[in-house]
Structure 1
């Protein structure tokens, strides 16, 4: 049975039990501040468990893409070394939202495993929650008795600890006791020696958990306490890769049909045989695992970067590239070439990867090229310092680890990985100190504390009415207090609201909340999962009183123009650049619109002009908005509606059309009634964002007019400065030519000045203790000329000890130059000397033993430098 057949049997089984089969949510999380990536099968359904909104179906089943590399669930370091840990994995799940509970969940689990998949009953063990007196949680005797009835005895039932049998998705949120199912995959001989029951939850590679049935009963609050959820739910998760290992009778997930196509491709490309060498096997497994993570994350909208989720993706990619480079001898980009094999394998269940195959390959290839440029140099740097580390207790110091991060792009875990292979460790504390001192690096901008939700009314959910209304009367459902860097905000959820919550690139609305004489400003509107959160700096005086809401209508009007213009731009880009263009991000506010899209070359000025012309033509046609709500998603796509990769869509969607032959998109944002309202569209910039992704920024309406006016005003100002020439470009070209000629003349003059100064200084050399000492404040216009002067004097004067002080562009600079014999025979070091002299100018510097420079803040201190240098030389023996 293949992995695709195993997955299909799971979904078919639960469909037969009345479950609605839903597609996987994107692996990248957009509306949940507690998560970067989906890390469990239940994460997309969190709001249903919390009661924030009703589930569309009482019973659901799916296979969910998950990623675990940071935070509480961090499997990265085990990946490749053992048989069952992965960064990206599939989680098969069946869900009950206030419907069936423990009895049906456990009976169906046993039925599927033993009667459908035919797994041997005598190799299966189950665990149930053993209680926790510290939280007054009792043993789950209900699950125990159910299993006893299913199994016929209690011989293969274990009571587990809170760590193993009480599932929590994080520090807060839905949680509850769970019952795990484990399988013993060892040989008969090994089973005879040690009972499988003794190895459950003991990290044995062949005695593994394959299914977890979580009984969601509680919500963990900020203070750590547990409260009962409004209803009881079932959340199950079965690791697809481990299930395939068990059904296919393998000893490792990597030996299954899930991974073997990838492993075979890698092995063939590297000209190795998998299974013959431990180091190359580990490298092959790492690469096979990581290509899945990278491909799906990029396809779902997360590009590699130096910040947050993007940095997680980048460091996974670099980890894979480093393994390919070191152990499989891939010195050129290779990782990207595995994508087609994966895309073909997953086409039937995750078609989004096949649809974006070229784009994903291009992004990965460009990242590989960039990293390979620095990887080899970084490894050489480590090799040269290896002996030093071994003399320092086999520890790579924090400063060097940070240098590898800052200069060579090595994430800390990559340095730790290399260290482990060399028998070294890394001073992580020292690294963290260096990181803290690096001001311009990506860091957590603030620390927030938020209270639990205070429930005002709990019998209703939020209704968004902003497509049709700008004001309304409503009431508060809940609120919470959030403190960040000494500033306090309140997050307010209302029964109905015209305020649009930031989503799909469109910023959130602002406006006012009024109650009696109380008027509270709404400074932002955000989405958290499926909650619409109104952000204020204070609460209304009476949170239970009726509220009157009013958005900032003028601001919304401009945002609508920019958003509709984004749709027109998207269509124009596809029309002029090709069907490969897909939206990869956007920002729509009341200042401008920003649109990121897949394209591999710079958009030419001519193409920009044609795109602008097309958009403005559609504006002048005054095309009426055709808005359709609650359209079945299959029907919308059938009619050509553009869906954005990485967005999570429900079964019913909103379709925005401006001319069905031009622009048809799935969109939840606000739009103009007709394109004529946009007025005028102007592109102000085009640039590269990442590999294969370009960015256009544009303005509309009044902002576009103002932009053109300012450009024309600047042009007129330039004309006036040049005497109002009839042909501006020729006049500017002439001015540039004259400027270039003058620069060359000035350069020749400066070079002559350096020659004259060299001869003067050589004649002024003082013999002090057998050293030819020169120290002088000089007037030169650039650091390059100071450097040339120093090297020219070194060629002219023997036994030279030279100090040059200069003020360059208003900043003090020092140069120290020594003859080689002074370095080798007298042990002098220019770097040490310049650092001491730099104290006079409140600065510092460095360089080589024979040549060093320094800069500083206090130009007045330059006057003290010659005398200080002379005193130093006179003090030498």
Structure 2
């Protein structure tokens, strides 16, 4: 059997040997190898006369109304049965990892249980947390998001993969089990644990590729449904698609917990099996009523449906029902599936810190929420419905995933902000789409993808606008969302920097790990480059993990000195960049190292402060907080975290009190080295708050009883050394990411002193003391407000008088009053336009104000003229004719242009504006 895979632009082919699965298990059980006459795949069966593989669509599902298991299982019961079965068979149960894959530098989301252990365990670089192990891992895949709901339950964006994994390493003489035992476990689980007759089980050959690994696999097929994939990873695969045998033989089995559950219940629609009471609630809300016989016919047909057929869903439904409202009922059913699937996916993403944004994993959360809001739009539901839906999901799953319990208020706040953004986007669709077309985009599917990707505008809304404004309708492919989502599942891989050192050098011995307080040392030069030197050992910390590099001096034994201005690391070798004459430094010479200790000590304080602050943020703001970026410099540090809004002043004060309480408690900071697998098992993947940490041995930094992270930075010994941590600024840097800027130690004291000097200076200028400053400022604010009130009264009277005068002196073009006015006050111009609305409905008002080297032109039209003279259309004519370059914003009633007038037009601007608008009126308002 030959399997085809697409890797980049290449189509690759792998062949499975006919004896690959000719195992003792197959012989003992009587399984024979056959080739399916429909899909041409090879499969193993107990039926000597079998001609088809047993998987839909080659055959129909046969478990409807006739589940093959001895009893029906809920998803929780199936998960527990699976885990306990493998636990009885000497597998250790491992807690699931987050759905956001922060321990990977190539993936944003967890797409399979084996992703938890790639690349370090599967490469043999690190030991697994247990061997063998079993896990039920929530996973997220968006490749088939547009099929969700249509295929009765075969496709789900979020699902649990039951993974039974064993890692065999020939280099260490570690052998757990391989192909034969894996199939036996699967068979025993199905037959003995669940009571499925073995004649219903077929094993279908396949070849699997993913995460840099590859290997042959068997798919477990029962009653037409694929329920498991048993992968035998024995290859590494390179970028060209070439296979290389690896000494690590990994058993990678994926049991689809939702599919096993669906199989056990014999229900036609898989979402009913998984979501139970939630499904029932939504069917009542959406008033779905479909005859069981019709629903069964649809479920049997669903595996055969192509994207092309699903794009004409009405025609599909007409084949199974002549009922006039059948298409509407099935559309409602499909959308119930989407609502359940997408709301659970978004819930789990938020739980793991994927706060909605336009980048990385936050993009996926926003996309899912907006798909839900679009469905609510389509059926006329208020957006508030999503609050109820998401909270019901939280309650439904929180017994299995305890972290969900405390997320009620966080979910509400996230949804409130997302609904508000969605409303604003919808309100501005016309302006956004037209701006893209002006920039050269043609009305096309590419434009729709860009608008969906950048602004979250659903293609239906784009088509509505294009139909209305340009009489254009774009055909949207069924898999539209899949095309967009593919761009957002993988992390961008950083370009590899050009190597600047030879390959034969030994790794640098890092004295700063032996003693972080070393201020000086002796080392030997092993390489001299154009602007740098490399030593056999060093006290200088290179830039890494957000901590900036050390600086200092290197002395020869003859007294020559050079300044170390930068330090970097490449493949374990520390590179010291030197300012000064390198000719005095020779390979083999001993040199004396001196650290700029004040800089290093400040960096140590800021790094330790980061650990303390991050844990405080999780305690105060919630468990969804994850580090999104960090910089620790000498003067200050900043920490970016996943959060949906800038915290209140009360929350910031609480955080600051908490972190300084830790400082005053004089907690020790401990450093230890722990095997990667054991560290993950003991502490969980929250170890990787600081990002991906390579290697089999993790350096664990613990602020005693407060924070534990895998970290390669330098830290103080006790929290009391920090003296004080002061948060100096908190702001949103993008949707879903909040930046905290802070200082510690002497830098914090200097900050307080600087602000105290500022307060004293302000007090002196206001002729008061610091204690009375608030009252004095309040008094000044009141005086200003009184003056503003008087100003508004004068402005109102003045603008009313101007409006009446301008209307009286207006030019008449037919029944339309044209007002063109040069003003020197932009606020007065705006106010006059508002006053004109109270006096007339049939006017066009153009006011221009010179500001600096440019002009503001205000365009306002009376209520009765919007149909033939929209302000935004007049603005396009004026801007294109009179301006060198311009920008603007507004709507059909009011528009404001800002830009620079073309050379030579400034002196005749009034006449030009009169001519342009007169021509526009004559052309459009006959």
- TM-score under structure 2 length normalisation: 0.65
C-alpha deviation, 1:367, in angstroms: 3.6
Whole-angstrom CA distance in 1 between matches of 2:500 and 2:257: 39
- Match for 2:204 among 105, 127, 131? 127
Q: Deviations along 1:279-310, whole A, 9 cap, x unmatched?
A: 33223322332333233322233222222101
Q: Deviations along 1:623-647, whole A, 9 cap, x unmatched?
A: 4445676599999999xx9995997
C-alpha deviation, 1:68, in angstroms: 0.7
Whole-angstrom CA distance in 1 between matches of 2:856 and 2:775: 41
SS at 1:735 equivalent: helix
After TM superposition, the structure 1 = structure 2 runs for residues 810-821 of structure 1, keeping only pairs within 5 Å, are: 811-817=854-860
Q: CA 1:79–1:840 in structure 2 vs 1: closer, same or farther (change >3 Å)?
A: same
Answer yes or no: is the 8 Å Cα contact 2:763–2:773 preserved in 1: yes
SS at 2:191 equivalent: helix
Q: CA 1:501–1:85 in structure 2 vs 1: closer, same or farther (change >3 Å)?
A: farther
- Match for 1:216 among 233, 239, 250? 233
Q: How many residues align?
A: 745
Q: CA 1:868–1:123 in structure 2 vs 1: closer, same or farther (change >3 Å)?
A: same
Whole-angstrom CA distance in 1 between matches of 2:193 and 2:393: 29
Whole-angstrom CA distance in 2 between matches of 1:4 and 1:798: 66
- Match for 1:174 among 213, 223, 230? 213
Answer yes or no: is the 8 Å Cα contact 1:510–1:525 preserved in 2: no
Q: CA 1:525–1:299 in structure 2 vs 1: closer, same or farther (change >3 Å)?
A: farther
Other-structure match for 1:24 = 96
Whole-angstrom CA distance in 1 between matches of 2:699 and 2:762: 52
Other-structure match for 2:134 = 61
Other-structure match for 2:58 = none
C-alpha deviation, 1:43, in angstroms: 1.1
Other-structure match for 2:883 = 841
Other-structure match for 1:226 = 243
Other-structure match for 1:89 = 159
Q: CA 1:14–1:793 in structure 2 vs 1: closer, same or farther (change >3 Å)?
A: closer
Answer yes or no: is the 8 Å Cα contact 1:463–1:497 preserved in 2: no
Answer yes or no: is the 8 Å Cα contact 1:583–1:644 preserved in 2: no
Whole-angstrom CA distance in 2 between matches of 1:454 and 1:234: 40
Q: Deviations along 1:639-695, whole A, 9 cap, x unmatched?
A: xx999599799999957354xxxx443333453212232122223245689999987
Whole-angstrom CA distance in 1 between matches of 2:264 and 2:507: 44
Other-structure match for 2:898 = 855
SS at 2:514 equivalent: coil
Whole-angstrom CA distance in 1 between matches of 2:655 and 2:829: 51
Answer yes or no: is the 8 Å Cα contact 2:641–2:738 preserved in 1: yes
- Match for 1:294 among 324, 328, 346? 346
Whole-angstrom CA distance in 2 between matches of 1:616 and 1:284: 49
SS at 2:232 equivalent: strand
SS at 1:81 equivalent: coil
Q: Are 1:8 and 2:80 matched, yes or no?
A: yes
Other-structure match for 1:869 = 913
Other-structure match for 1:366 = 413
C-alpha deviation, 1:513, in angstroms: 15
Q: Deviations along 1:316-364, whole A, 9 cap, x unmatched?
A: 23323443564594652445555566656563xx5xx3244221x3333
Moved more, 717-726 or 264-273: 264-273
Answer yes or no: is the 8 Å Cα contact 1:807–1:859 preserved in 2: no
C-alpha deviation, 1:242, in angstroms: 1.5
Answer yes or no: is the 8 Å Cα contact 1:524–1:535 preserved in 2: yes
Whole-angstrom CA distance in 2 between matches of 1:120 and 1:495: 66
After TM superposition, the structure 1 = structure 2 runs for residues 589-668 of structure 1, keeping only pairs within 5 Å, are: 589-590=632-633, 591-594=636-639, 603-604=648-649, 612=656, 615-616=659-660, 619=663, 622-625=666-669, 644=686, 654=700, 656-658=702-704, 663-668=705-710
Answer yes or no: is the 8 Å Cα contact 1:831–1:852 preserved in 2: yes
Q: Are 1:357 and 2:405 matched, yes or no?
A: yes
SS at 1:775 equivalent: strand
Whole-angstrom CA distance in 2 between matches of 1:766 and 1:738: 43
Q: CA 1:232–1:706 in structure 2 vs 1: closer, same or farther (change >3 Å)?
A: same
- Match for 2:824 among 779, 791, 808? 779
Q: Are 1:674 and 2:718 matched, yes or no?
A: yes
Q: CA 1:64–1:499 in structure 2 vs 1: closer, same or farther (change >3 Å)?
A: farther
SS at 1:301 equivalent: coil
C-alpha deviation, 1:13, in angstroms: 3.9
- Match for 1:80 among 106, 125, 149? 149
Q: Deviations along 1:789-813, whole A, 9 cap, x unmatched?
A: 2454577689755432212576412
SS at 2:727 equivalent: strand
Whole-angstrom CA distance in 1 between matches of 2:247 and 2:500: 15
C-alpha deviation, 1:81, in angstroms: 1.5
Q: Which sections of structure 1, spanning at least 5 residues, go unmatched?
A: 129-164, 186-206, 386-394, 436-440, 476-491, 539-544
C-alpha deviation, 1:765, in angstroms: 4.3
Other-structure match for 2:831 = 788
C-alpha deviation, 1:91, in angstroms: 1.4
After TM superposition, the structure 1 = structure 2 runs for residues 405-804 of structure 1, keeping only pairs within 5 Å, are: 409-410=456-457, 449=495, 467-469=513-515, 507=547, 557-566=601-610, 584-585=626-627, 587=630, 589-590=632-633, 591-594=636-639, 603-604=648-649, 612=656, 615-616=659-660, 619=663, 622-625=666-669, 644=686, 654=700, 656-658=702-704, 663-669=705-711, 670-685=714-729, 697-723=741-767, 727-755=772-800, 757-758=802-803, 761-762=806-807, 764-765=809-810, 774-782=819-827, 785-790=828-833, 792=835, 802-804=845-847
Answer yes or no: is the 8 Å Cα contact 1:654–1:666 preserved in 2: yes
Whole-angstrom CA distance in 2 between matches of 1:461 and 1:232: 30
- Match for 2:370 among 318, 338, 343? 318
Aligned-CA RMSD value? 5.9
Q: CA 1:635–1:865 in structure 2 vs 1: closer, same or farther (change >3 Å)?
A: closer
Whole-angstrom CA distance in 2 between matches of 1:604 and 1:168: 51
Whole-angstrom CA distance in 1 between matches of 2:286 and 2:144: 26
Whole-angstrom CA distance in 2 between matches of 1:746 and 1:254: 64
SS at 2:900 equivalent: coil
Answer yes or no: is the 8 Å Cα contact 1:290–1:320 preserved in 2: yes
Answer yes or no: is the 8 Å Cα contact 2:656–2:725 preserved in 1: yes
Other-structure match for 2:326 = none
Other-structure match for 2:42 = none
Q: Which sections of structure 2, spanning at least 5 residues, go unmatched?
A: 1-70, 170-174, 296-328, 433-442, 467-471, 525-533, 579-587
Answer yes or no: is the 8 Å Cα contact 1:49–1:229 preserved in 2: no
Answer yes or no: is the 8 Å Cα contact 1:88–1:293 preserved in 2: yes
Answer yes or no: is the 8 Å Cα contact 2:129–2:677 preserved in 1: no
Answer yes or no: is the 8 Å Cα contact 1:501–1:533 preserved in 2: no
Q: CA 1:118–1:686 in structure 2 vs 1: closer, same or farther (change >3 Å)?
A: same
Other-structure match for 1:147 = none
Other-structure match for 1:105 = 182
Whole-angstrom CA distance in 1 between matches of 2:761 and 2:501: 61
Q: CA 1:754–1:739 in structure 2 vs 1: closer, same or farther (change >3 Å)?
A: same
C-alpha deviation, 1:18, in angstroms: 4.0
Between the two structures, name the one with larger relative contact order (CA 8 Å, sep ≥ 6): 2
Answer yes or no: is the 8 Å Cα contact 2:112–2:161 preserved in 1: yes
Other-structure match for 1:479 = none
Q: Deviations along 1:759-814, whole A, 9 cap, x unmatched?
A: 654565456788765433222242xx213324545776897554322125764122
SS at 1:48 equivalent: coil
SS at 2:356 equivalent: coil
SS at 2:121 equivalent: helix
Whole-angstrom CA distance in 1 between matches of 2:680 and 2:488: 40
Other-structure match for 1:51 = 124
C-alpha deviation, 1:834, in angstroms: 3.5
Answer yes or no: is the 8 Å Cα contact 2:617–2:625 preserved in 1: no
Q: CA 1:776–1:379 in structure 2 vs 1: closer, same or farther (change >3 Å)?
A: closer
Q: CA 1:699–1:630 in structure 2 vs 1: closer, same or farther (change >3 Å)?
A: same
SS at 2:830 equivalent: helix
After TM superposition, the structure 1 = structure 2 runs for residues 263-302 of structure 1, keeping only pairs within 5 Å, are: 263-267=279-283, 277-302=329-354
Whole-angstrom CA distance in 1 between matches of 2:830 and 2:409: 43
C-alpha deviation, 1:67, in angstroms: 1.0
Whole-angstrom CA distance in 1 between matches of 2:257 and 2:889: 56
